[in-house]
C-alpha cells in the first residue's frame, strides 16, 4: 500500500464517519395510501413468532384462533382468508400474509365487536399453552405497518414501538405455571391529514397502528352480542385449562389396580369429546396524531435503538484504533523496511555485476615478469580472494523474502479448489457491499418487507458474472487448462453446499408444520434460478476471463526446482498463524456483532436499522483484513516460506472461526432457545452466515496479499 494512498483512505473513512451521524434514512414507499372517512381499511394477519424458538407459524394455522369466514372484504377487494402475493424474501423469512375478518373503517370507532366463538380440543389447548409458555407474539398488518406494542423510554420523554403483541401470558404466583390466552384486542389506529390535494379533500393517512391485548375469562359478564359488559374492570383472565377426564382416569385406575405400575395419563393428549369455547372480541379506536409525519412513521420502531448510539460510537473508535495501529505497521513495512531492503538488494546486484565484469573481460593479462615473480600456485591468488570477499560482502544482506524470487509465484497445491473459492468470494463481496450500501441509503428498509433477502439473492445471482471472471483468471494463473471444469466447480460449490444445507434443514422444519419451512414450489424456483440463470452467468464470466482476461503476469520467473523451506517458528505455522491473525478483524467487529445478534436472535420485535454505523465498521473491517493479511504474509516470506497462496486466503477468512465461536457463546450465554429443531436452525444459520463472511473476507485477504507480493517482487525485478 503506497504511503500516498493513506491520506485519501483516512479522508474517506472520516467522511463516512461524518455521514454515519445521520445514520440511515429510509424510503418508506413509492406512494402514499390515503383513506376517506368511513372507508374500509384491510387488516391482514401474518404469523406468530418467538425470541425463544426459531419456529414460526402462520396465524391462521393456529387451531385456537378464529378461522377466516371467506366473506368479501370491500377495503381489500379480496375474500377473508385469501393470501396476499408475497415476494421471494417474504416467503423465505416465513411470512404468510392473509386478509382477516376484522372490520376497520376510517375514523369510525367500534367499542366492541364479536369476532367468533372458537371451539378447541384438549390438543389445541396444549399447543396454545406451549406457544404462550415460549413467549410467542403475533403480527398483524395495517397499511404496511405491523401492529405494535407501545412503550415509553426510560426518561419518559419519548414513545417507541415493538412490533407484534403477546399471544398470552404466564402466571407463576401460585407456585405452578398457569397460562392465559389474550382473547380481546383493542386496536388503536393513529392518523393525520393526507398531504397535498388528498388532504384538501379530507382524506387521511395512517401514521400508527397499536394493538393492546387482554385476557377475559368466562367469569366476566357478557352482553347479548357476546362482548364483555365492562372492558375496563376484568374480574378473571381466560386460562388455558380443561378439567381432567374423570372417566378415563377411573378406568385406568381399575385396569392397573392389581399392579404396582400406575401410568401417568396425559389428559391433554386424550382424543375425547371434551371441548372448550374461546370467545374472541375486538375494539377499534381512531385517534388523530399530528406529531408524526407519514414519512417518519417508522421512526417509532427505531427510537429504542438510539439509546445504544454511545456503544456504536465505542465500536467505531475501537475499530479505528485497531485499524490505525495496523496501518502504521504496514506503512513501516512499506516505507522503511521493504524500500531499504529493495535498495540494498539492487546495490548488491550492481556490485555483483561489477565483480563479474572485473573477473571477466575487464581483467588485464599479467606481465611476464609478474608471472616469473609469482609462483605457479600463487598466481593471482590475492586478487581472486579479494574478489570473492567483495562478492560475499555484497550479497550477505540478500536474505529473507528476497531469496524467494524464483519460488514465490509457484503454483499452489489444490489450486483448482482455491480458484473457485476466490470466485465465490468475489461474488459474495459484491452482494454484501450492495446490500450494505442499499440499506445505508435507505432503499432497503423494514417497510419493504422481504426486500433485504430478495435483493441479496438478486445481487448474488447477477454477481455470477464476476465470480466466473475472477475464478477463471486465478485458475489460468495456476496453469489450469480445463476452464469448463473450473466454471462448473465455481457455479456449484458454494451454492450447492448452501442449497443442500437448506434442503436438509427444511425437512426437519416441515415436520414441525412451521411457516419457517420453505414451500416446495419456492425450493424448485430457487433451484431453477440457480441452474438456469446463475450457472450460465458464471459460465459467461468464466469464458471471458479465461480467454480474454488471461492469466495474471508475474514480475519474476519460477524455477523448475522448488526451494527448500527452513524450519518455521511456532507462530508462523499455518493453524496458529491463522487463528492469531483472525483475532484482529474479530476485535474490530465484535461490538457491532452484539447489536446484530440481538436484533436477529434475541429481540425479533425490533429492527436493526443503524446501517450507517454498520457500513463504517464494515469498511474498517475490510481494511483491517487486508492489512492483517499483508503483515502475516510478509512475516511468512521473511521466514523463507513461499507457500502463501492458501495462507493468504485462510488468514483473510480466519475471523469467521472466531465469529462462529462467538455464536456458540451467544447461544449458551444469552439465548433461551428451546427444542432440538430450533437449536439446529440457529447453528445451521450461524454456520452459513460465517461461511459467507469467511469466503468474502478470505478473498479480500487473497487479493490484498497478491497485490502486495507482486508489488515488492516487481520492485526488485529479479530474474
What lies within 8 Å, CB to CB, of 553 at 6+ separation is: none
DSSP state, 164? S
Do 599 and 543 share a structural domain? Answer: no
Residue 29 lies in a domain: no
Q: Is residue 255 predicted with pLDDT exceeding 60? A: no
User: For 715, left (φ over 0), alpha (ψ -120 to 50), or beta?
Assistant: alpha
Do 324 and 209 share a structural domain? Answer: no
Predicted confidence at residue 719, as pLDDT, reads: 42
Do 609 and 521 share a structural domain? Answer: no
**Distance from CA of residue 22 to its chain's centroid?**
23
Do 504 and 421 share a structural domain? Answer: yes
The SS3 assignment for 428 reads helix
Q: Is residue 268 predicted with pLDDT exceeding 70? A: no
Do 147 and 181 share a structural domain? Answer: yes
Binning pLDDT at 50, 70 and 90, where does residue 305 land? low
Q: Indicate the residue among 553, 572, 599 that finishes a domain.
A: 553
Q: What is the CA radius of gyration of the chain?
A: 35
Binning pLDDT at 50, 70 and 90, where does residue 308 land? low
Predicted confidence at residue 580, as pLDDT, reads: 92
CA distance 457 to 440: 18
CA distance 309 to 311: 5
Binning pLDDT at 50, 70 and 90, where does residue 273 land? confident
Residue 635 lies in a domain: yes
Say what the pTM is.
Answer: 0.84
Predicted confidence at residue 166, as pLDDT, reads: 95
- Are the C-beta atoms of 186 and 232 separated by less than 8 Å? no
Mean pLDDT, residues 185-197 taken together: 94
Binning pLDDT at 50, 70 and 90, where does residue 22 land? very low
Going by C-alpha positions, the residue among 671, 537, 691 that lies closest to residue 602 is: 671
Residue 327's CB is within 10 A of a number of other CB atoms, namely: 18
Q: Is residue 376 predicted with pLDDT exceeding 50? A: no
Residue 693 lies in a domain: yes
Do 102 and 90 share a structural domain? Answer: yes
The SS3 assignment for 141 reads strand
Residue 469 lies in a domain: yes
Residue 25 lies in a domain: no
Binning pLDDT at 50, 70 and 90, where does residue 602 land? confident
Do 498 and 600 share a structural domain? Answer: no
Do 707 and 590 share a structural domain? Answer: yes
Mean pLDDT, residues 317-330 taken together: 85
Residue 258 lies in a domain: no
Mean pLDDT, residues 87-106 taken together: 94
Going by C-alpha positions, the residue among 192, 147, 146 that lies closest to residue 287 is: 192
Do 74 and 174 share a structural domain? Answer: yes
- Count of domains for the chain: 3
Do 205 and 178 share a structural domain? Answer: yes
CA distance 695 to 625: 12
The region of weakest confidence among 23-37, 458-472, 540-554, 640-654 is 23-37
* CA-CA-CA-CA dihedral for 675, 676, 678, 681, to nearest 10: 170
Do 542 and 588 share a structural domain? Answer: no
Q: Which domain holds residue 76?
A: 34-243+271-301
Query: E strands, 300-372, where?
Result: none
Q: Tell me the per-residue pLDDT of 536-575, one tens digit each, with 9 for 90 and over.
A: 999 999 999 999 998 999 988 888 888 888 888 888 888 8
Residue 624 lies in a domain: yes
Highest mean pLDDT (candidates 17-21, 311-315, 328-332, 360-364):
328-332
Highest mean pLDDT (candidates 145-154, 399-408, 489-498):
489-498
Q: Is residue 362 predicted with pLDDT exceeding 50? A: no
Do 549 and 641 share a structural domain? Answer: no
The pLDDT mean for the chain works out to 84
The Cα angle at residue 574 between residues 571 and 578, in degrees rounded to 5: 80
Predicted confidence at residue 17, as pLDDT, reads: 43
Amino acid at each position: 500500500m503506497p504511503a500516498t494512498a493513506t491520506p485519501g483512505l483516512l479522508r474517506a473513512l472520516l467522511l463516512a464517519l461524518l455521514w454515519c451521524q445521520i445514520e440511515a434514512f429510509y424510503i418508506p414507499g413509492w406512494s402514499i395510501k390515503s383513506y376517506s372517512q368511513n372507508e374500509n381499511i384491510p387488516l391482514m394477519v401474518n404469523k406468530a413468532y418467538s425470541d425463544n424458538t426459531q419456529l414460526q407459524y402462520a396465524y391462521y394455522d393456529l387451531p385456537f384462533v378464529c378461522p377466516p369466514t371467506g366473506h368479501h372484504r370491500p377495503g381489500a377487494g379480496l375474500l377473508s382468508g385469501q393470501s396476499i402475493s408475497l415476494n421471494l424474501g417474504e416467503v423465505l423469512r416465513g411470512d404468510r400474509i392473509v386478509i382477516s375478518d376484522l372490520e376497520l373503517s376510517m375514523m369510525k370507532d367500534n367499542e366492541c365487536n364479536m369476532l367468533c366463538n372458537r371451539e378447541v380440543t384438549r390438543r389445541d389447548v396444549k399447543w396454545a399453552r406451549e406457544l404462550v409458555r415460549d413467549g410467542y407474539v403475533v403480527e398483524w398488518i395495517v397499511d404496511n405497518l405491523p401492529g405494535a406494542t407501545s412503550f415509553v423510554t426510560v426518561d419518559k420523554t419519548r414513545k417507541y414501538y415493538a412490533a407484534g403483541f403477546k399471544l398470552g401470558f404466564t402466571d407463576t404466583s401460585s407456585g405452578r405455571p398457569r397460562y392465559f390466552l389474550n382473547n380481546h384486542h383493542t386496536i388503536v389506529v393513529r392518523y393525520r391529514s393526507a398531504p397535498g390535494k388528498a388532504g384538501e379533500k379530507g382524506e387521511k393517512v395512517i401514521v400508527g397502528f397499536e394493538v393492546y391485548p387482554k385476557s377475559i375469562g368466562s367469569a366476566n359478564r357478557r352482553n347479548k352480542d357476546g362482548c364483555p359488559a365492562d372492558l375496563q374492570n376484568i374480574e378473571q383472565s381466560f386460562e388455558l385449562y380443561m378439567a381432567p377426564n374423570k372417566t378415563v382416569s377411573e378406568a385406568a385406575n381399575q385396569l392397573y389396580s392389581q399392579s404396582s405400575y400406575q401410568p401417568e395419563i396425559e389428559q391433554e393428549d386424550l382424543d375425547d369429546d371434551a371441548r372448550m369455547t374461546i370467545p374472541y372480541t375486538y375494539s377499534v379506536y381512531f385517534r388523530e396524531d399530528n406529531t408524526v409525519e407519514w414519512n417518519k412513521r417508522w421512526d417509532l420502531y427505531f427510537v429504542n435503538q438510539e439509546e445504544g448510539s454511545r456503544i456504536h460510537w465505542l465500536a467505531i473508535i475501537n475499530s479505528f484504533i485497531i485499524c490505525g495501529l495496523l496501518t502504521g505497521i504496514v506503512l513501516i513495512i512499506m516505507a522503511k523496511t521493504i524500500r531499504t531492503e529493495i535498495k540494498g538488494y539492487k546495490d548488491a546486484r550492481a556490485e555483483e555485476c561489477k565483480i563479474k565484469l572485473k573477473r571477466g573481460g575487464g581483467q588485464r593479462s599479467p606481465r611476464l615478469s609478474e608471472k616469473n615473480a609469482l609462483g605457479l600456485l600463487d598466481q593471482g591468488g590475492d586478487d581472486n580472494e579479494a574478489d570473492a570477499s567483495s562478492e560475499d560482502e555484497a550479497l550477505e544482506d540478500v536474505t529473507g523474502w528476497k531469496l524467494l524470487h524464483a519460488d514465490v509465484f509457484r503454483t499452489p497445491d489444490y489450486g483448482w479448489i482455491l480458484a473457485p473459492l476466490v470466485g465465490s468470494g468475489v461474488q459474495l463481496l459484491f452482494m454484501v457491499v450492495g446490500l450494505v450500501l442499499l440499506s445505508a441509503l435507505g432503499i432497503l428498509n423494514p417497510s419493504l418487507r422481504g426486500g433485504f433477502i430478495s435483493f441479496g439473492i438478486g445481487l448474488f445471482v447477477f454477481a455470477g458474472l464476476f465470480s466466473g471472471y475472477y475464478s477463471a483468471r486465478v485458475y489460468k494463473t495456476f496453469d489450469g487448462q480445463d476452464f469448463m471444469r473450473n466454471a462448473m466447480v465455481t457455479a456449484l460449490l458454494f451454492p450447492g453446499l448452501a442449497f443442500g444445507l437448506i434442503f436438509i434443514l427444511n425437512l426437519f422444519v416441515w415436520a414441525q408444520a412451521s411457516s419457517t419451512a420453505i414451500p416446495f414450489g419456492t425450493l424448485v424456483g430457487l433451484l431453477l434460478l440457480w441452474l438456469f440463470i446463475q450457472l450460465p452467468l458464471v459460465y459467461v464470466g468464466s469464458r471471458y476471463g479465461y480467454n480474454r482476461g488471461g492469466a495474471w503476469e508475474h514480475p519474476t520467473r519460477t524455477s523448475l526446482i522448488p526451494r527448500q523451506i527452513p524450519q518455521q517458528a511456532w507462530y508462523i505455522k499455518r493453524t496458529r498463524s491463522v487463528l492469531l491473525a483472525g483475532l484482529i478483524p474479530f476485535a474490530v467487529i465484535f461490538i457491532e456483532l452484539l447489536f446484530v445478534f440481538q436484533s436477529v436472535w434475541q429481540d425479533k420485535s425490533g429492527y436493526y436499522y443503524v446501517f450507517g454505523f454498520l457500513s463504517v465498521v464494515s469498511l474498517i473491517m475490510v481494511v483491517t483484513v487486508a492489512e492483517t493479511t499483508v503483515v502475516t504474509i510478509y512475516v511468512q516470506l521473511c521466514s523463507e516460506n513461499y507457500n502463501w497462496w492458501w495462507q493468504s486466503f485462510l488468514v483473510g477468512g480466519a475471523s469467521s472461526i472466531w465469529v462462529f465461536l462467538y455464536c456458540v457463546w451467544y447461544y449458551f450465554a444469552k439465548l433461551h432457545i428451546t427444542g432440538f429443531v430450533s437449536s439446529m436452525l440457529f447453528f445451521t444459520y450461524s454456520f452459513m452466515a460465517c461461511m459467507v463472511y469467511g469466503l468474502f473476507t478470505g478473498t479480500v485477504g487473497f487479493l490484498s496479499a497478491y497485490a502486495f507480493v507482486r508489488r515488492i517482487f516487481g520492485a526488485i525485478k529479479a530474474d
